[in-house]
Structure 1
Amino acid sequence: MIADERPRASRPKKRRAGGLARGLIQALVPTERTLVTREGFGYFGVMLVLLAAGMLQQINLILLVATTAAGPFVASWFGSRAMLRRLSVLRRSPGYVFAGDPLVVDYTLENGRRRMAALALFLEDQLVSAERGASGAVLTPKVFFPRVVARDRARMRWEGEPPRRGNYRFQNLDLGTRAPFGIVERRVTVPLPESLFVYPRIGRLTRRWFQLQRQTSENRLGRRHDRSAQQEEYHGLRDYRSGDSPRWIHWRTSARRGELMVKEFEQQNEQDLAILIDPWLPRTKVPPEQREAVEQAISFAATVCLETCRRQGRRLVLGWTGPAPGVIQGPASVKLLHELLEQLAVLRPVNEGGLADLIDALPPPTLRDALLIVVGTRPLNLMEEAERSARLNATSARSLMGRVLAFNAAQGELDGLIQFAEEDTRGLLEQRLSTAEADRFTTQDERRRGIFSGEAEDEGVIIEETVSSDGVPAWRARKGGGS
């Protein structure tokens, strides 16, 4: 019996020790605060005036009213504390949001009590910057719950404009109430830290951009089209262009349509792509137009990354200048897209570093074969920057210049390449990625059935290249028939 009683006797001691530890922590770092409201101070002042008047005039009725007035004050002090017991709070926020889109946060309050309803509860949140040197709240979402019955939950939604692009974090939540009389306000701090990335604004690439990219790719691949097409997967048919090999003409479809149609392979779409950003700003006297040019350059790079990651098979490289140039690379995918957008979200303007240092940091396959897109905010002599690079000689520098598309956002060279629409960018992102996946599976299924071969059916199938209203090229298949 003695051996069995020792553990039982030690349990109350452990519980008391745990309670003392929790009490000490709450005393040092209080999670509960009680404040007297402005109305409460006015109420308390009137009560003191009545009490003083009753004592000076020796009128018992006034003293009775003054002492009775203390009842609501005491009831508010203890009632507000009871109102916050057995409540749980949940915040549901997106992991990311695009600049320009509304920020939507859902707050759920659950009442775990058996009988007592929760009345007049409010939630105050804080969104602060996670970057160094930043202080103060950027946003302070607030929601109000008028009544939550026992054993039930309620949900409120807050919607507002997000801050500028960057990395942010939600701090602890404050759950408070002024029930039952509004004299005393009691708050409880609920630890719910979460992170939030505000991605750059996303637009739509115009038809001009796709034409420039296609022309640059064709100029590079023109001499090797015959050899490389044999190693790539068949994609579809397109109109004959000057310089195409006669070996790849699809004669049956050409005869039906009355114009030359050639086979197209995946090789053009799978060319590696490198986006180099030079977010330069002068040290002093920075005009607002220059800052807007930096944001436009970053938005353009983010849009190109999104369009590139729609289809797998390409390798995407993102580089940026600065005192320590950085590079992120990988196969095009949704995971890589979020990594690139997170980096672009925290990218800040610089006044040091150059393109030559960034070229030295690029991987060798990128310098050898990839299409380079240089977006900056200052005039650049690309040939001089390439010759200054320690990894390029004169011959390789000239070869690199044939695969470069350079744009100066400060001079408005991006105005005709990207358009911004008033729509939900997050939904647009999900729609684009899901459409790309559907197109990929549909294309694979049709290839497996041999529809695109032009040989499976007597009437044949014609693949037409179309351009939608937003400038995005697409393929459309129809039966040849007698037309």
Structure 2
Amino acid sequence: MSAQSKVTVRLTPVGRYYAFLVVGIFLAAMVRQVNLLLLLSGLIAAPLFLSWQMARRNIRRLSIRRRVPSRVCAGDLMVVDLELEVSSRRGKAWMVSVSDRIQRDGCSSDSGGESVRVFFPYVDGTGARALAYRGRIARRGCYTLGPIVLATRFPLGLFEARRQVDLRDQIIVCPRLGRLTENWNRRHHFTYDGGSRSERCADRVSGDFYGLRSWQIGDSPRLVHWRSSARHGELLVRQFDRPRQQHLTVLLNLCCRAGQHMNRDAVKNEQDVEKAISFVATVIHDLCRKGGRSLLLGVSAEDITWLGGPASPGFLQRAMDLLTRVEPSEGDHLVTLFAEARRRSPQHADFLLVTTSPLRFRPELSANSGDHAARGETSGKRPGQAGAVARDFRVEVIDVTSGNLENIFEYQTVAGS
């Protein structure tokens, strides 16, 4: 329930013209000493007093509540519910305008805010009246809703009574989610050939059916597809989808070259940054929805931030909060990020590196990661001391500046946009 605040009453443009008319008639009556004109000015002035009194009384008895979602994704439909109520059971209010303000944290009050107006034609004491406004926020970040301004010009439109209610709510606008294309799905469609020894002992196979292949020594007889084997004249076993690697390290490197905010490439750089963040958010959302693996997320901006844990709704929420607030920096920590990720990741981990820094300027990373500029995917050995066991790893690099993200990721079309 909103708290009471000061009510301000002011003349509307129509009210000012009306007041000038009353003053003119009164002055004419005083100059000419005509009692009939003096009486007429008093009668005309009565609606001014009535309008002032009723507008002020109506707005003082109102209270407002707001219900807002705690988080939405950029571009998704946001619905905000407003409930207006009269404190007195016998009270009534007509023609009430409710103005709400949405502003991104960190922006000045003069710029970066949007106002929304909702109109309540009638409210009485029998219960609250509920209306809602809808909209889409295109830019990720933390937003503040409020304060709310209640206003009415009832009954005659000569005076406007306004009351500001300091009712504020926070909403987190997460990065915009997109869709991973078939190219991405084909590239990351891990096949599970037959069954492992432990699963054969368990007499069950996990995962979704993917296809058939020829029988090999060591395959479980339970995996043989007898009908297809009879049709083709050879033993065929079923294949099931299963991630070959149970750990994925996702690295996001956000940077812009010094002074780029002063030239015409600033818009292109901002688009690359937002698309890189949206792509990483979509990948993590997809992995957390499927589950069954552990994740490590490293984000390089002003500082390098790490998040680790199993693919779950909890990890998804923490990752979305991190990606919502991250901003690019002028420093490039790509090499440091990759080296630290290799140290933190377990053996045989997969790496997905998404960067807004052109890789042609990073020969030291190429020496460590292979020819990712040509293929976008490479493998290598973790460096170690002499005699140590070599640890294989695979790195897939997505250079957003080169445009290779277009083939594997796209934004979903918003209906009605």
Q: TM-score, normalised by structure 2?
A: 0.81
Amino acid paired to 2:205: Y
Partner of 1:396: 382
* Total equivalences in the alignment: 385
1:233-267, Cα deviation, whole Å (9 max, x unpaired):
7314443569x964235466422123622454755
Matches within 5 A, 1:209-228: 209-214=184-189, 226=196
Question: Residues 378 and 363 (structure 1 numbering): CA distance in 2 closer, same or farther, change over 3 Å?
Answer: closer
Matches within 5 A, 1:285-434: 285=263, 286-362=265-341, 364-366=343-345, 368-380=347-359, 384-385=364-365, 395-396=381-382, 402-423=393-414
Helix, strand or coil: the match of 2:225?
helix
Cα drift, residue 397 of structure 1: 5.0
Q: 1:261 aligns with which of 205, 217, 237?
A: 237
Contact kept? 2:382, 2:393, Cα under 8 Å: no
**CA RMSD, 1 decimal:** 3.3
Separation in 2, partners of 1:247, 1:55: 115
Helix, strand or coil: the match of 2:189?
helix
Cα drift, residue 306 of structure 1: 0.9
Partner of 1:239: 211
Partner of 1:56: 31
Question: Residues 266 and 161 (structure 1 numbering): CA distance in 2 closer, same or farther, change over 3 Å?
Answer: closer
Separation in 1, partners of 2:407, 2:169: 38
Helix, strand or coil: the match of 2:289?
coil
Cα drift, residue 387 of structure 1: 7.0
Question: Residues 70 and 196 (structure 1 numbering): CA distance in 2 closer, same or farther, change over 3 Å?
Answer: same
Question: Residues 245 and 384 (structure 1 numbering): CA distance in 2 closer, same or farther, change over 3 Å?
Answer: farther
Contact kept? 2:12, 2:160, Cα under 8 Å: yes
Cα drift, residue 307 of structure 1: 0.3
Matches within 5 A, 1:71-150: 71-131=46-106, 136-150=111-125
1:19-51, Cα deviation, whole Å (9 max, x unpaired):
xxxxxx99xxx6332222222222212211122
Contact kept? 1:289, 1:410, Cα under 8 Å: no
Question: Residues 404 and 149 (structure 1 numbering): CA distance in 2 closer, same or farther, change over 3 Å?
Answer: same
Matched, 1:31 2:14: no
Gaps of 5+ in 1: 1-24, 425-483
Amino acid paired to 2:237: M
Gaps of 5+ in 2: 370-379, 385-389
Cα drift, residue 363 of structure 1: 7.9
Helix, strand or coil: the match of 1:350?
coil
Cα drift, residue 103 of structure 1: 2.6
Contact kept? 1:39, 1:183, Cα under 8 Å: yes
Contact kept? 2:29, 2:35, Cα under 8 Å: yes
Separation in 2, partners of 1:172, 1:85: 17
Separation in 2, partners of 1:134, 1:63: 48
Amino acid paired to 1:59: V
Partner of 1:248: 219
1:143-193, Cα deviation, whole Å (9 max, x unpaired):
000111331221112122324111111122112211122222222222321
Cα drift, residue 400 of structure 1: 7.7
Structure number with the higher helix fraction is: 1
Separation in 2, partners of 1:301, 1:59: 82
Stretch moving more, 30-39 or 331-340: 30-39
